[in-house]
């Protein structure tokens, strides 16, 4: 057997010309000294490979699917790519030290070792009870080192065509191993043997349903009442209250909290939440967003569909890769601008009726999404009753008229933005509303007829002095809000739906806001029994003409 120990760089290079060579490094966990060894006998290499192949069954992911830190990732790729001609001891030592340093205190006992084995297209990191003595000139104890009784955990990086596969095993699940490997939150949950357990009672007898993620998702879809803390069955069992839900070792007594965490696990939100905090340095939302770190003032950040990038020294550099494109994970906020192309993509899908699920990386998840037809917002935002009412109207009325559809969508997103000015999502909602208005045209006429919610008003309704306009609109709205609770007026549209726009000189923002404020004050005086009265005035201007949308609501 041709074995050499503690080789220098010249020795390594002379052996590396043989493609059938194994490079190995080992150390005691508690010590700093690392020993390097090479093996070049083909039968010994085949023996090592066969033993490694018999290791306990691993789980497997692609390297691109885990979040191994930058330096370990770089060292792994370098060693696999440089084998056998340019193997550097420094790189092997750096990787082995990084792996062993991550191990928790109990894993660093006297009789435990870390081993790195490198051969063609494969790199193995192993934490074993029997360690360094196994890499000896005789190689007599290799089978014991890699025996399932001695291996505590291992990782195999396998170079397979255009990807690197990561196979990993751990006898007892530990957070340090999960953190070093960079497993996604959801994968980590299953690594710890997690299952969803729903606890209930039947005739004072405790019962537990143990479910996989696929099963719990199917249940929630089939039994939406689970969000209310119960499950309704067909006879003979018709009602089943939920007392607790267990996820692994974590207990939930509040079903809403469970739903929030389930969504977070499914889409790995904790990872994006951490990345968002790293960029903007905001621990939690307050009325005034905390200023971010100095980097925010030196670089420009952009939120794109599949990544977040920063502009630095004339180059766009990715800082966050969005792995799960089944949902739209938004980073947009005061400090991060959403790309115009991303806005257009979301708007296109929204108009085409494709299902859209939005989660903001910097906000709490809501167990019940805000549904605006095919768009679901899973982040917690303020939704006043009058907005709920207009969303219900928008979703239930058959709006074959595209212009009226866009107008109502504009009203919904604009008023949502106004109700969430201190939220990160404001920086999505406000420009999204403006984006919708670009789809409008004042040519032709509206085919949607007026109803209890929607009314057309000619431009003359907005003529005369400001006080006259206020009295006119206040009188009309006060009477109609008593019965309909919610009104949308389109000023600049004739009774038959024909556009007759108002000159833009009469729609200046300061004037419109003053009129709106006075209307709201007067209506509140006229309707003292209503706890909530709101009036929004939203001019939409094209060139020298425009229309004025007035959205009002009154609720007891």
149 backbone dihedrals φ, ψ, rounded to 5°? -75, -20
Q: Among residues 332, 345, 327, 305, which one has the least CA distance to residue 427?
A: 332
The answer on pLDDT for 77 being more than 50 is: yes
Q: Name the pLDDT band for 252 (thresholds 50, 70, 90).
A: confident
Share of the chain above pLDDT 90, in %: 38
Q: Among residues 459, 460, 457, 453, which one has the least CA distance to residue 480?
A: 453
In the block, tokens 């971010």 appear at: 292
Q: Name the pLDDT band for 101 (thresholds 50, 70, 90).
A: confident
Helical ranges in 102-194 per DSSP H = 142-145, 175-181, 185-191
The residue among 402 and 382 whose pLDDT is bigger is 382
The answer on pLDDT for 99 being more than 60 is: yes
Question: What does the pLDDT look like over 502-530, one tens digit per residue?
Answer: 999 999 999 999 999 999 999 999 998 88
Share of the chain above pLDDT 70, in %: 85
H helices, E strands: number in the chain = 17, 26
The answer on pLDDT for 467 being more than 50 is: yes
The answer on pLDDT for 470 being more than 70 is: yes
The answer on pLDDT for 417 being more than 90 is: yes
The residue among 523 and 542 whose pLDDT is bigger is 523
Which architecture, in CATH terms, is 454-555?
2-Layer Sandwich (3.30)
Question: What does the pLDDT look like over 312-363, one tens digit per residue?
Answer: 878 889 999 998 778 999 999 988 999 999 999 999 999 999 999 999 999 9
Least confident range from 49-63, 126-140, 149-163, 385-399: namely: 126-140
Residue 291 DSSP one-character state:
P
Q: Name the pLDDT band for 148 (thresholds 50, 70, 90).
A: low
Domain ranges of the chain: 22-182, 190-267, 291-436, 454-555
């Amino acid at each position: 057997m041709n074995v050499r120990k503690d080789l220098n760089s010249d020795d390594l290079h002379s052996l590396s010309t043989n493609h059938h060579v194994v490079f190995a490094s080992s150390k005691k966990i508690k010590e700093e000294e690392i020993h390097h060894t090479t093996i070049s006998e083909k039968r010994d290499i085949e023996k090592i490979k066969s033993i490694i192949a018999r290791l306990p069954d691993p789980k497997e992911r692609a390297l691109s699917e885990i979040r191994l830190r930058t330096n370990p990732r770089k060292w792994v790729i370098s060693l696999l790519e440089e084998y056998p001609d340019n193997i550097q001891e420094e790189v092997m030592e750096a990787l082995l030290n990084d792996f062993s340093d991550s191990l928790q205190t109990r894993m660093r006992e006297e009789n435990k070792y870390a081993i790195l084995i490198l051969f063609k297209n494969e790199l193995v990191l192993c934490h074993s009870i029997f360690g360094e003595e196994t890499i000896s000139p005789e190689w007599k104890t290799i089978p014991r080192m890699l025996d399932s009784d001695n291996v505590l955990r291992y990782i195999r990086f396998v170079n397979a065509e255009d990807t690197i596969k990561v196979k990993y095993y751990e006898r007892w699940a530990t957070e340090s191993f999960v953190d070093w490997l960079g497993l996604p939150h959801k994968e980590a949950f299953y690594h710890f043997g997690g299952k969803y357990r729903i606890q209930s009672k039947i005739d004072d007898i405790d019962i537990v349903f143990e479910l996989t993620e696929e099963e719990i998702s199917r249940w929630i879809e089939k039994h939406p009442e689970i969000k209310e803390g119960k499950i309704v069955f067909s006879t003979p069992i018709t009602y089943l209250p939920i007392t607790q839900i267990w996820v692994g070792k974590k207990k939930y007594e509040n079903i809403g909290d469970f739903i929030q965490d389930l969504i977070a696990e499914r889409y790995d939100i904790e990872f994006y939440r951490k990345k968002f905090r790293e960029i903007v340095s905001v621990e939690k939302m307050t009325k005034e967003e905390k200023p971010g770190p100095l980097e925010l003032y030196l670089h420009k950040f952009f939120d794109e569909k599949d990544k977040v990038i920063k502009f630095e020294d004339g180059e766009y550099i990715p800082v966050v890769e969005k792995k799960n494109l089944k949902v739209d994970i938004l980073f947009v906020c005061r400090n991060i601008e959403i790309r115009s192309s991303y806005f257009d993509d979301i708007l296109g899908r929204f108009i085409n009726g494709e299902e859209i699920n939005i989660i903001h990386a910097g906000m709490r998840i809501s167990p019940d999404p805000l549904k605006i037809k095919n768009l679901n917002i899973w982040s917690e935002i303020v939704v006043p009753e009058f907005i709920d009412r207009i969303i219900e109207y928008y979703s239930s009325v058959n709006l074959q008229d595209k212009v009226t559809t866009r107008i109502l969508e504009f009203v919904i997103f604009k008023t949502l933005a106004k109700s969430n000015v201190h939220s990160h999502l404001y920086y999505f909602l406000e420009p999204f509303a403006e984006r919708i208005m670009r789809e409008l045209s004042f040519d032709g006429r509206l085919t949607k007829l007026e109803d209890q919610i929607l009314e057309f008003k000619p431009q003359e309704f907005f003529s005369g002095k400001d006080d006259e306009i206020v009295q006119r609109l206040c009188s009309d709205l006060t009477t109609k809000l008593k019965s309909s609770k919610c009104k949308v007026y389109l000023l600049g549209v004739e009774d038959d739906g024909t556009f007759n726009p108002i000159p833009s000189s009469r729609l200046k923002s300061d004037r419109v806001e003053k009129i709106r404020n006075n209307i709201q004050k007067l209506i509140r005086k006229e309707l003292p029994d209503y706890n909530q009265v709101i009036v929004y005035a939203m001019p939409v201007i094209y060139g020298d003409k425009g229309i004025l949308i007035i959205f009002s609501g009154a609720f007891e």
